[in-house]
Chain A
Amino acid sequence: MFHQTKLKTFVLLAILVGLIIYTMNGSYFGRELVVEVAILAILAISVDMVSGYGGMVSLCHGAIFGLGAYAYAAVNVLMGGPPALAVVAAIVAAFTFGFAVGAVTSRTRGIFFIMATLAFGQMIYVMIFDSKSLGGDDGMWGLTRLDLSAIGVNLESGVQFAIFSVLCIGLTYVVAALILRSAFGRTFSGIHENEDRMRALGTPVWKFKALAFGLSGSLAGIAGALAAQHTMFVSPELVIWTFSGEVLIVVILGGLGTLVGPVLGAVVMVFLKHEISNITTYWHMIIGILLIITVMAGGRGIYGGLEQYLARRAAKAAPASGAKTDA
């Protein structure tokens, strides 16, 4: 069950502030990394919401993300709509698809659920790849970014776009946290803990799973809209299922079911990948080894490990200080 602890707030703010400082002082390439972190982090938050808190391990969030990007492009390029409308379209399309996947798969569990999400994701991929109007394997280009000149922000500027992306992480986190701490979110966690009892208490389980998957999907749609604006170009590569796997790795690396852990995981993944690929082309192997170590160490992830370490230290310190007052 979700609790917004002080440690979570601290880690989240530290990451956001760190990324903004890095953006201001970084090079063009550094800003690219920051936007990459932001997209991955938002997607990881949306996956953690359903996988970490609801046990719905998804292999279609990459596709939902791609669907969001394509919805953005379709409204923006094909229909000539303004970017603001395109963002709404991305969120609505991602929500609708997520809700449908959640509703259809609500009775399946475990491996069958995972495979079903993979199949749904592949459906989107094939549809996009085969669709002439969406550009087929060429994709679509000529996308424009949101116009925020009304509040003095110019997203055409690399620095401002990177900072905007970082703020989107914060926004997504707050939305996910509010959902998880609402009565709805708590019931959703209850379903994860004991689905049969939750049903026996009078909960229509499928509705909760479908809505949670839809809401999580809409967050993935935000990531998609951000990615579309970043490259100003969409291609079927955005929808490839292995991206869903990469996001799951980020979530597990950072800490499944911690919400802030996935953000941390995204930072680690992107910067580590960048650093290691300077040294060797086998960076996948290093990430793989890191993942195995994380899982073998109890599966708490980086954030979970940090939380445990601090809790142990506090527990050690407590009796020690108690002894002092006794003496």
Chain B
Amino acid sequence: MLKVANLCKSFGSLVVTDDVSLHLEKGERRVVLGPNGAGKTTLFNLLAGEIAPSSGDVFIDGKSITSLPVEARAHIGLSRSYQKNNLFEGLTIGENLSLAAAVAMGLSGSLLRDTHNDPELRKVVTDVAAQVGLKDMLEMQVANVSYGNRRQLEVGLALANGPKVLLMDEPTSGVGPSMISAFHGLLKTLPRELTVLIIEHDMDLAFDVADSITVLNYGKVVFEGTPDETRASSLVSEIYLGDWDDDA
């Protein structure tokens, strides 16, 4: 479904994405792990088209999307959520979701339909709102809701956008344990055919939801395997916990 071939990106002499190749099957749940500065978000920006790679290719369904702009990739069904909330602050939660859903349903350019009161679209909006736990907050202004609710909406926007491939950049960053477990629940309710790539710091979540795990370090893929293999890998614990031998 999503294939990344030898993707490279450097800023001057700094190589932030170094020959990354990935292959996700349809419906696969892949978690990307890696310490700060490993190039995880850069990889997402490359996949979503927000920055252009120095070399390499990105394919969806076997078709190269490397030269497509951001909006065209979204049209194909590549949808992302951001690590830092990137919302429509001045609008209500319902209006936010409507905007995303209208694009996905091909209505956003219509001069005749009022998407706000369109029953078909309202159904998508309420469904997504229920999915991310914002069902009773549709009329609330984004600027007036909590950080946690904004994180939920951040994922909601990506879901309402009708994705085939969903990229989620640290969806649980900065939220409490109860919301993290609610998010576990959400991931399990997603349609099984949806391909999901998640950047995550929370190891428990990663091991719980992932079919497979990719570990990035210094822009390189240093490990790829199942959750069990990852748990057993000394390399991964070394990257995450440091090399303890020196202190011994």
Chain A contacts to B: CB under 8 angstroms: 1, 178-179, 181-187, 189-190, 193-194, 196-205, 207-208
Contact of B111 among A182, A190, A200, A201 (CB under 8 A): A182
Alpha-carbon distance between A293 and B184 when the two chains are bound, in angstroms: 53
From 90 to 120 in chain B, residues with beta carbon under 8 angstroms from any chain A beta carbon are 90-91, 95, 98-100, 102-104, 107-116, 118
Check if B87 sits within 8 Å of A194, measured CB to CB: yes
Given contacts A183-B114, A199-B74, A201-B79, 12 further A-B contacts (CB under 8 A): A1-B90, A1-B95, A182-B115, A183-B115, A184-B111, A197-B86, A198-B99, A199-B70, A200-B86, A201-B71, A203-B71, A203-B103
Contact A202/B74 with A182-B112, A186-B116 known, Cβ cut-off 8 Å: yes
Q: B157 contacts the other chain (Cβ, under 8 Å)?
A: yes
Alpha-carbon distance between A255 and B171 when the two chains are bound, in angstroms: 39
From 57 to 73 in chain B, residues with beta carbon under 8 angstroms from any chain A beta carbon are 70-73
Contact A200/B109 with A181-B114, A193-B88, A193-B89 known, Cβ cut-off 8 Å: no
Alpha-carbon distance between A262 and B90 when the two chains are bound, in angstroms: 21
Contact of A197 among B88, B102, B115, B118 (CB under 8 A): B88
Contact A187/B102 with A182-B111, A182-B112, A202-B74 known, Cβ cut-off 8 Å: yes
Q: B25 contacts the other chain (Cβ, under 8 Å)?
A: no
Alpha-carbon distance between A197 and B98 when the two chains are bound, in angstroms: 13
Check if B86 sits within 8 Å of A196, measured CB to CB: yes
Q: B196 contacts the other chain (Cβ, under 8 Å)?
A: no
Alpha-carbon distance between A178 and B110 when the two chains are bound, in angstroms: 11
Task: Tell me which residues across on chain B come within 8 A of A208, comparing CB atoms.
Answer: 109
Task: Tell me which residues across on chain B come within 8 A of A193, comparing CB atoms.
Answer: 88-91
Check if A182 sits within 8 Å of B70, measured CB to CB: no
Alpha-carbon distance between A146 and B157 when the two chains are bound, in angstroms: 50
Contact A186/B102 with A1-B95, A200-B80, A203-B71 known, Cβ cut-off 8 Å: yes
Q: List 20 A-B contacts (CB under 8 A).
A: A178-B111, A179-B111, A181-B116, A182-B114, A183-B108, A183-B110, A183-B115, A183-B118, A186-B98, A189-B91, A194-B89, A197-B87, A200-B80, A201-B74, A201-B100, A201-B157, A201-B161, A202-B103, A202-B161, A204-B71
Check if B110 sits within 8 Å of A190, measured CB to CB: no
Task: Tell me which residues across on chain A come within 8 A of B2, comparing CB atoms.
Answer: none
Number of interface residues of B (CB under 8 A): 36
Task: Tell me which residues across on chain B come within 8 A of A185, comparing CB atoms.
Answer: 111
Alpha-carbon distance between A178 and B111 when the two chains are bound, in angstroms: 8
Q: B202 contacts the other chain (Cβ, under 8 Å)?
A: no
The residue on A at minimum CB distance from B161 is A201
Chain A: minimal CB distance from B52 (Å): 15
Check if B99 sits within 8 Å of A187, measured CB to CB: yes
Alpha-carbon distance between A1 and B115 when the two chains are bound, in angstroms: 12
Contact A183/B102 with A194-B88, A200-B50 known, Cβ cut-off 8 Å: yes
The residue on B at minimum CB distance from A200 is B70
Contact A187/B111 with A200-B50, A202-B161 known, Cβ cut-off 8 Å: no
Task: Tell me which residues across on chain B come within 8 A of A200, comparing CB atoms.
Answer: 48, 50, 70-71, 74, 80, 86
Alpha-carbon distance between A197 and B158 when the two chains are bound, in angstroms: 10
Alpha-carbon distance between A198 and B111 when the two chains are bound, in angstroms: 18
Chain B contacts to A: CB under 8 angstroms: 48, 50, 70-75, 79-80, 86-91, 95, 98-100, 102-104, 107-116, 118, 157, 161
The residue on B at minimum CB distance from A197 is B86
Task: Tell me which residues across on chain A come within 8 A of B113, comparing CB atoms.
Answer: 182-183
Contact of A184 among B87, B88, B109 (CB under 8 A): B109
Chain B: minimal CB distance from A180 (Å): 10
Chain B: minimal CB distance from A49 (Å): 13
Chain A: minimal CB distance from B84 (Å): 11
Check if B74 sits within 8 Å of A184, measured CB to CB: no
Check if A194 sits within 8 Å of B102, measured CB to CB: no
Alpha-carbon distance between A201 and B118 when the two chains are bound, in angstroms: 19
Task: Tell me which residues across on chain B come within 8 A of A199, comparing CB atoms.
Answer: 70-71, 74
Check if B109 sits within 8 Å of A186, measured CB to CB: no
Task: Tell me which residues across on chain A come within 8 A of B109, comparing CB atoms.
Answer: 183-184, 187, 207-208
Alpha-carbon distance between A203 and B157 when the two chains are bound, in angstroms: 14
Task: Tell me which residues across on chain B come within 8 A of A194, comparing CB atoms.
Answer: 86-89
The residue on A at minimum CB distance from B73 is A202
Chain B: minimal CB distance from A203 (Å): 6
Alpha-carbon distance between A319 and B111 when the two chains are bound, in angstroms: 41
Task: Tell me which residues across on chain A come within 8 A of B79, comparing CB atoms.
Answer: 201
Task: Tell me which residues across on chain A come within 8 A of B72, comparing CB atoms.
Answer: 202
Task: Tell me which residues across on chain B come within 8 A of A196, comparing CB atoms.
Answer: 86
6 A-B pairs with the lowest CB-CB distances in the bound complex, closest first: A202-B74, A183-B115, A193-B88, A183-B110, A187-B108, A190-B99
Task: Tell me which residues across on chain B come within 8 A of A197, comparing CB atoms.
Answer: 86-88, 157
Task: Tell me which residues across on chain A come within 8 A of B86, comparing CB atoms.
Answer: 194, 196-197, 200
Task: Tell me which residues across on chain A come within 8 A of B104, comparing CB atoms.
Answer: 202
Task: Tell me which residues across on chain B come within 8 A of A178, comparing CB atoms.
Answer: 111
Check if A190 sits within 8 Å of B74, measured CB to CB: no
Task: Tell me which residues across on chain A come within 8 A of B91, comparing CB atoms.
Answer: 1, 189-190, 193
Task: Tell me which residues across on chain B come within 8 A of A182, comparing CB atoms.
Answer: 110-115
Task: Tell me which residues across on chain A come within 8 A of B111, comparing CB atoms.
Answer: 178-179, 182-185
Chain A: minimal CB distance from B17 (Å): 19
Alpha-carbon distance between A204 and B72 when the two chains are bound, in angstroms: 8
